Structure 1
């Protein structure tokens, strides 16, 4: 067994790897950028080495710095986690050439499965079913458009070197193809240094089914059953579960056999995932499930597999990397119960999943109790800072139960009881998804979130009652001995005879009138003083006395477009003096590894433009000002 391990990653996966390594008596070394100097993974490891500035391209993505850190610290092996350099064959080869142990598959396997077009052709050659599409070398816009037209819309444009939902666009109409292709190629080039794409038929009722596979250097390959990762937004997984609901034993056997054959085709060693797309319009059937891609690394969602099999997959990785055979044979592996996982993101679903940054002044996870024993794989803790430099995932919440419905109920309860503030999260969004009857009945596919957006994205909060409770907790109601409140105008304004109102504003910018003649009867979970933070079903609002100060961020009623967060301007679509229509894209901001489009709030003219392509901007910076089109208004 290796004795010392450098983790070439950050956040929750670094903490996860450290936990297992410590159990095995392995010394751990973390690496960190400027932004992560006091991060949880740095505090948790036995040792930590600084590798550069905050941007990932200057630290976590620089292989030479990571190898130098391993040598400096005396590390025997490097574990890449997921993301960053985990599927970079050149880095894997460099690690091995430096005399270090690479905790991952052979570079040749990464190369074989790294490009989606070549991987699909290889799978077709060995009899693994693949989706219809175009994998050709001719990458001209005209050829790609012609192939898409021939396949029939909708189609999916995918970067061959892509992953994590980046470099991927769904196109519903032929006339939208050219613009979608350019956007996809630009994102792919920026994220992966490769703008080559493939075209696939878009499955109308798709479910995302994946199989965990594992190989060792002794020629053994097994599967650890399947996961369902269909609940996604922007092609990023949100809720994952194992086993896949509605999967018959016959279909499971066929899909898992195909996954093992795929791994055997590249002599796979280590942890890997074979991803399939299923046409679930008539249930999960073996002849309607096709190979999509292989991830040659540990997956974010590996905990649900661990929970149903009782195996520690990181331990398996470390043992295989040390030259040991797989800990279990195929006939020794079985499914026990049901596990479900929610990814905890620092983002605001009500604002298009806009990432949220700041200090975690409150970070409280529910404790275990009889009947509820959640697993938390977290990369942050109370008081930590969420920065704009990395993926907004804070961690994962996992529960395991005998039945699927029990796991769903338990996870929903944990999401509703978790307290995080002031960084916005998707907790309420996840809880609402889990409680939907369609989800409970497993009527799911990758379009579930879009289809139920009205019910999922915006919390239906009893804001009037919450505001009244906030006013009461803030001691804003007149005391009984003070006489009738409508005889005193301090702190409120008159609104008709025998009625007094106090106005509170919440953290979403909404103003609420509180009737100070009626004390609230409803109580909510709250903490803090001013502002008072209150929780309802996994969602939060903070209230304070309303003091008008004008527009803060976003698109003001006067047409000002402010940067919603720190980021980089990657595209400017207009010039000063241009006429624009309501909803027209003005520019594109890249932040936290995602593209965000800023659009015109109404028909008008670009009166002011303060953004240039390539420019770094700060939150609330004035980027564009649109003046209303007076001619149209008349």
Structure 2
């Protein structure tokens, strides 16, 4: 299909539509559009590139002070590309810290646009892209907003209004309460007359039709509240709102036993402004009143947290919070939408279930064409359960696409948006609409392009492959654009979000990127320009990962003819990516392990949004168990075992034992270096184990190989990106003498496999042949003896690799699996919250501290109280209990409440700075006296435990 389009001279693919031979195509040129880009991150760089390619010569970017001032070396990397200082404009920050500052910032941005000749504003996928007040102000100022208009923002962008619209057009929604602020007002004032008195008292502009007796009290209260927001008034306090939310939470706990409740600020996005209550009730089918009240007790605290996080805690802010049933076994699917106010088209779906802290990590395309092909492949392979599961997905996708376009037309969608849903087996529930382009939009771009055709001439059309380009076209030409046809590009695409997080996926700010390997062939990397070299020297420039921003550093994308191909390519991209720096932590290894876990299982699997935390817990258990092994000790003990074995086999020929000892010595680092790397990083180990899960069995307590350990060793070097490379640091790749031995062995097995007409991995058959003393396939007795001897020499010592399988066996790694029906089975023990907390500490041990100190768990902004005006969490001389809140740390725009891991007394508050002060990981905050004395572990005891466990493992592999 792509070749057909590429070779058709009538198709205009150049983004400079003004250069087309077709007058109709030229009429959609955007060269005269003059946009100001008021966002940051990968989308700012992408917008710059697309606008340039569209022929726009007058576009500029907005910089926050945090781009260049607050965080040294966090200078916006895009400035290496946009060197005209007249097109770079600065503000203190993007949205302001309060409502007053936000209003001030909106005015400043509009004035910047007017003063510098910009006629439009592009806000990407930042918060301003969904700010109805911001968009309305832009429209009022006579500027174009490259995104959905203010009416769409109001009807679809606010989560409460979106749910009401969805109900009106017949779309299934998540059970819950969407008008808790109205209920708060009704509870406070009680009667219709008292509500009407508010209108008179505050001179509120309320529609007269809302005042008749047919309007419910809650609907009247809603009308009054919206009028109060326009006047900047608060008609209820946060305390009154929190109390009402708590009432609703208790009622929902009673209506839906053994469930959790989700609180969502209506203006949240990207995982911000959301909290979940009720973990303690999940295992209780008939909770008592006391159980329910205890589970709901944190509601007021969480309401404040979500409002703080989305900056909706000021006077006159709409503080509505959705109270929703948290559907536990759910997948997060979404549909890409595009409209012009009259028509609306969908561009397939994306599965975003793999997420943590409500933020997406790995996003996979879901297309009707891809599912149809996968169904056919599964049917041909006789996998009936998989066929049924995929057919269910295809039916749900078709319904979601149909309903999403219906919703888009209902709200007059005139740009790009995303229709977000939760999928529960063969049902789906509408969740919210993101009235902006999304971080993962390229996943859809890679699957579909848009064909705009002249209504008067079917041979006159142009193709658009960029959603940013489509948004610009819509902003410039609006309803003039005909409804496009979606054209398949690739059947599958995948995106991994490279985030500044540690091994437990907790935010890690402040690291310095000093080196980043170049993209490999077929890799699509959106890195906001970090990889742009210094334009003067051609050298890579250092980049500071600033904690004031979202944790995303880059987006890594691949595409393919099916999901397997996109996963395989993504695995290669992740494996070849090298990032180096100081105090730098990313989720690169997590992604590599996760992608390979699915490759080893089934890439069509249906993980739910609850997948990642138990998966991380399992990875933590891998690390804990791997830490009990000593590969050097194992190698020495193995040599001793071989010496005894050779002495028993050749009692009259001591040279045989010496020769075997020499062979093993030459293989020491060949075997132990990749093993050590896998044991040191449990994410890498998880992926490796999954890929090799069918290559062994346990028989009578022993590891039995079903694939050639030598070939697997070579594959392991490839998997770890340690293949021979003279240009790479020796510490990162296989060493010369080890590579020589490895290649020699591979040549041996390749030649032997070809002789027997076998594949390199058909080890069971080859092994059976080599056990025969009688020469096979025409080999002479002497040749056969040499072949068997060489085989023994190449395989000797590789038994140690089998210890990796024993690590997995000991933590029940294989019980976490994808079933035939594509559902993921998660062992119940991995859902234990105490174990999850414990394993997070195993993955990332707490910062070193004295027994009488509490230190900052990570870098970020410190807050000693829940909200301004509320009491401090701790004071000197107070006693605190395990689990009690001690402080809040804001990192990567997320507010994390840090709780005590033990009980004790606060002796002194060391952290005396004002709220919002920046702290570093490990910085002492409080001097304390723990209730229980800490006992240090003796290093000798650790060494003895490791040797004991290693000895036990050796018995199963030798």
The two structures have a TM-score, normalised by structure 2, of 0.54
Q: CA 1:615 to 1:208, structure 2 compared with 1: closer, same or farther past 3 Å?
A: closer
1:579 equivalenced with 2:718 (yes/no): no
CA drift of 1:83 comes to 1.5
Q: 1:7 is matched with which residue?
A: 37
Q: Give CA-to-partner distance per residue, 1:8-51, whole Å, 9 cap, x none.
A: 11121100111111110113211112332431223333554332
Q: Which whole-Å CA distance do the structure 2 matches of 1:103 and 1:67 have between them?
A: 14
Q: Give CA-to-partner distance per residue, 1:86-139, whole Å, 9 cap, x none.
A: 111111122122222111111011011232122211210111111111223224
Q: Which whole-Å CA distance do the structure 1 matches of 2:339 and 2:131 have between them?
A: 19
1:596 equivalenced with 2:883 (yes/no): no
| Residues 130 and 291, structure 1, Cα contact 8 Å, conserved in 2 | yes
Q: Which whole-Å CA distance do the structure 2 matches of 1:335 and 1:127 have between them?
A: 32
Of 412, 415, 435, which residue of structure 1 is paired with 2:596? 435
CA drift of 1:398 comes to 0.5
Which structure's CA Rg is the greater one? 2
1:556 equivalenced with 2:858 (yes/no): no
Q: How many residue pairs end up in the alignment?
A: 554
Q: Which whole-Å CA distance do the structure 1 matches of 2:566 and 2:934 have between them?
A: 55
CA drift of 1:627 comes to 1.5
Q: CA 1:533 to 1:133, structure 2 compared with 1: closer, same or farther past 3 Å?
A: farther
CA drift of 1:399 comes to 0.1
Q: 2:739 is matched with which residue?
A: none
Q: CA 1:535 to 1:394, structure 2 compared with 1: closer, same or farther past 3 Å?
A: farther
CA drift of 1:442 comes to 1.2
Q: 2:260 is matched with which residue?
A: 154
Q: CA 1:411 to 1:332, structure 2 compared with 1: closer, same or farther past 3 Å?
A: closer
| Residues 509 and 892, structure 2, Cα contact 8 Å, conserved in 1 | no
Q: Which whole-Å CA distance do the structure 2 matches of 1:278 and 1:524 have between them?
A: 37
Q: CA RMSD in A?
A: 3.4
Q: 1:262 is matched with which residue?
A: 407
More helix by share: 2
Q: Which whole-Å CA distance do the structure 2 matches of 1:42 and 1:366 have between them?
A: 21
Q: Which whole-Å CA distance do the structure 2 matches of 1:122 and 1:41 have between them?
A: 39
Q: Give CA-to-partner distance per residue, 1:305-350, whole Å, 9 cap, x none.
A: 0001132111100101111558774644346310000111111133
1:125 equivalenced with 2:168 (yes/no): yes
Task: Within 5 Å, give how 1:202-601 maps onto structure 2.
Answer: 202-217=326-341, 219-243=342-366, 246=390, 248-280=393-425, 285=426, 288-310=427-449, 311-324=465-478, 329=483, 331-334=485-488, 336-350=490-504, 352-368=505-521, 373-379=522-528, 380-381=530-531, 382-422=541-581, 423-437=584-598, 440-456=603-619, 460=623, 554=847, 556-563=849-856, 564-571=858-865, 572-601=872-901
Q: Which whole-Å CA distance do the structure 2 matches of 1:68 and 1:56 have between them?
A: 15
Q: Which whole-Å CA distance do the structure 2 matches of 1:604 and 1:360 have between them?
A: 39
CA drift of 1:178 comes to 2.8
1:112 equivalenced with 2:155 (yes/no): yes
| Residues 245 and 323, structure 2, Cα contact 8 Å, conserved in 1 | no
Q: Give CA-to-partner distance per residue, 1:389-442, whole Å, 9 cap, x none.
A: 211211100000111111112112211221112221100011111122456241
Q: 2:132 is matched with which residue?
A: 89
CA drift of 1:535 comes to 8.9
Q: CA 1:457 to 1:258, structure 2 compared with 1: closer, same or farther past 3 Å?
A: farther
CA drift of 1:622 comes to 2.0
Q: Can you give the 5+ residue segments of structure 1 that lack an aligned partner in the other structure? A: 469-506, 509-521, 537-551
1:186 equivalenced with 2:326 (yes/no): no
Q: 1:629 is matched with which residue?
A: 931
| Residues 134 and 147, structure 1, Cα contact 8 Å, conserved in 2 | no
Deviates more, 1:136-145 or 1:454-463: 454-463
More strand by share: 1
1:25 equivalenced with 2:55 (yes/no): yes
| Residues 211 and 273, structure 1, Cα contact 8 Å, conserved in 2 | yes
Q: Which whole-Å CA distance do the structure 2 matches of 1:183 and 1:141 have between them?
A: 10
Q: SS of the counterpart of 1:595?
A: strand
Q: Which whole-Å CA distance do the structure 2 matches of 1:445 and 1:553 have between them?
A: 29
Q: Can you give the 5+ residue segments of structure 2 that lack an aligned partner in the other structure? A: 1-29, 69-74, 185-243, 282-291, 313-317, 372-389, 450-464, 532-540, 634-679, 682-716, 735-844, 866-871, 936-958
Q: 1:548 is matched with which residue?
A: none
CA drift of 1:559 comes to 3.4
CA drift of 1:460 comes to 4.9
1:138 equivalenced with 2:183 (yes/no): yes
